[in-house]
A and B are shown apart, each in its own frame.
Chain A
Amino acid sequence: MSDRLSARFAACAAQGRAALVTFVTAGDPDLATSAEILAALPGAGADVIEIGMPFTDPMADGPAIQRGNLRSLAAGTTLRQLLAMVTDFRKADDATPIVLMGYFNPILAFGPERFAAAARAAGIDGCIVVDLPPEEAGELVPALSAHGLHLVRLATPTTDAQRLPAVLNGASGFLYYVAVAGVTGANSAAATDIAAAVARLKASTSLPIAVGFGVRTPEQAAAIAAHADAVVVGSAIVDAIGAAAEERANDIPARVAAQVAALAQAVRTARKEQAA
């Protein structure tokens, strides 16, 4: 299978740097703007793109991404539109990996098999389903596997040695380490705690480790990039989109690109700075 995720993580590793993963909610603040934001992300330095599938009840998300979900739903975004947007994106970019992130119910309503087939056809590389722990994943895994899509698993500060094997069993693509016990956009974890957690996970898996939750600034991103294979920034970008939408700005994609460029710069130089 053509595996954009593995290729991209390998390329970043070869450059001796962490990857920057950026999260935006599909259709936030509206579908057209969202498509422009998406198109601008790779050029700004996003190595991997996570696209949020909007849901009415995002119970693992903090206020920023909750509002992003509501903006998107208010604009009428559907999963079908999200897939069409990715299909368009792929016409210009066949290299940047795209991972969908969201909740199980919209996937279940679409139908797991139909969803996996459509996601693959659109050029999506994997999924993170927040409320689908390994114990319940049997309804989705066969469909994803059949269509060559990764199911990215999450490890958290509560994932102890007893729990970790269950999380890793069937994990693919990369391992997403949720740096703080809490919702997205919460307080930041201490860099030393993250370094220790990444080292602990690396001892149990060869998958790349991406670290997210509570990463807002280039400085925080750099601190994590020194240790992890990838840094995920979500709420800070979604917050910026929300603020720009509120003031009815017409340059939202350019603003997001500038924010992502600053994060990318920090992530790409993090290990050099640390070595110097």
Chain B
Amino acid sequence: MNAETSLRAGPDANGHFGQFGGRYVAETLMPLILELEQAYTDAKADPAFHAELEDLLKHYVGRPSPLYFAERLTDELGGAKIYLKRDELNHTGAHKINNCIGQILLARRMGKTRIIAETGAGQHGVATATVAARFGLPCTIFMGARDIERQAPNVFRMKLLGAEVRSVESGSKTLKDAMNEALRDWVTNVHDTFYIIGTAAGPHPYPELVRDFQTVIGKEARAQILEREGRLPDLLVASIGGGSNAIGLFHPFLDDKDVRIVGIEASGKGLNTHEHAASLAGGRAGVLHGNKTMLLQDEDGQITEAHSISAGLDYPGIGPEHAWLHAIGRVEYQSATDAEALEGFQLLCRTEGIIPALEPAHAIAAVARIAPTMGKDQIIIANLCGRGDKDIFTVAAALGVTM
């Protein structure tokens, strides 16, 4: 597979994946974006950078994460063999740390002395606060006021880790507003601050570098399934908010044409209700947060509010590489509702003794739908990108349980 025909060659020199991606930022940030791009290019070519990254991933994060054969789930669904990529076993309990380790090493290379980040569910905030503590850098996390309410345990975790959590009261008070506020902070503190974006979105080079740091998931899964089964899987499934866990799993398989790849958007209360977060199924191409991508918006180009029971998927956009993979048809995008995710959540608890985060519970819901339609000799890998401890209060409320 050469560079011209590989689906893994993007983005182009200007950060575009087809019509998506790019660098739609205020001029004040442009020199910083270009500087980051150069720093990342240099880091990629530096064996010492890779050595330090790999050492931290192994000894601090706990990689490689297991590829686990979910035998009882497979039996229950009565179809394809289901493997779970256990990124919820990482330090901090989600895949977010893979990216944060990479970005903070970049921040150090660039001589930056202060870290900022946005967070929705709080997983990226916790991961950022964690690496900031590990490297002794002051850290400010922007979090929507509504998310602070529904993710109290993660707010406390971030504070324990020494981060300042700044409540964002503007707009819809969720992830998109936290990202606006982080961008405002960055443009104000351009000289000393590094912005660790949590998903494979934002201005180039973020979608590329976040993807690259997350592809450790797919590279491991590929090697592990080849070792376990002696062949590639038939299907990959991952949930998508911005889409970093999904692109991390999918990317190393994009050129394997026989591997079917399915991303699961959050359809909240249903695609026909306007209360969902499915920007591919229900959005149009637009520009927000530094990139062109598929966005939930009204006919005037005003961004509309997303809804999902999962705070981590509650975002009106999606990473630009997913928008492109959707446009060219390489990846199939489906959705799961809040109710289906709750079913998936309980199904995994009951059959495997694993409490998933509500984000991958959407992927489990899709697996429950698809696996029975496949043969018993077929193989699915689903990305279990986070653990569900943070979500037990939300789930209890949704199930009508008073704790």
Contact = CB atoms under 8 A, between A and B. Distances in A.
A107 to B, nearest CB: 7
B351 interface: no
A59 B301 contact: no
A70 B362 CA distance: 33
Interface in A151-181: 153-160, 162-163, 167, 178, 181
A106 B180 contact: no
A186 B189 CA distance: 12
Interface stretch (B21-29, B83-91, B261-269): B21-29
Contact of A106 (B28, B179, B301): B301
B188 A186 contact: yes
Interface stretch (A16-24, A127-135, A191-199, A223-231): A127-135
Contacts, number: 118
A60 B303 contact: no
B290 interface: yes
Contacts of B177: 57
Interface stretch (B121-129, B281-289, B337-345): B281-289
Contact of A78 (B22, B29, B300): B300
A122 interface: no
Nearest to B188: A182
Contacts of B377: none
Interface string B169-189: 011000011011001100110
Task: Give the interface SS of chain B, mostly helix, strand, loop or mixed.
Answer: mixed
B14 interface: yes
A75 to B, nearest CB: 13
Chain B contact-residue range equals 35 or more
B398 interface: no
Nearest to B305: A56
Chain A contact-residue range equals 35 or more
A57 B288 contact: yes
A87 to B, nearest CB: 18
> Which among A57, A107, A156, A163 has the greatest number of chain B C-beta atoms within 10 A?
A57
A57 B187 contact: no
A136 interface: yes
Contacts of A108: 285-287, 301
A109 B297 contact: yes
A148 interface: no
A135 B204 CA distance: 12
B285 to A, nearest CB: 8
Contacts of B25: 131, 133
B32 A55 contact: no
Contacts of B32: 158
Interface in A108-150: 108-110, 130-133, 135-136
Interface of B: 14, 22-32, 34, 170-171, 176-177, 179-180, 183-184, 187-188, 190-191, 284-290, 295, 297, 299-303
Interface of A: 55-63, 66, 70, 73, 78-79, 103-110, 130-133, 135-136, 153-160, 162-163, 167, 178, 181-183, 186
30 contacts: A56-B303, A57-B177, A57-B180, A57-B289, A58-B180, A59-B180, A66-B170, A73-B302, A78-B300, A103-B287, A104-B24, A105-B287, A106-B302, A108-B285, A108-B287, A109-B299, A110-B300, A110-B301, A131-B24, A131-B26, A154-B27, A156-B28, A158-B27, A158-B32, A162-B31, A163-B30, A178-B28, A181-B188, A182-B28, A182-B188
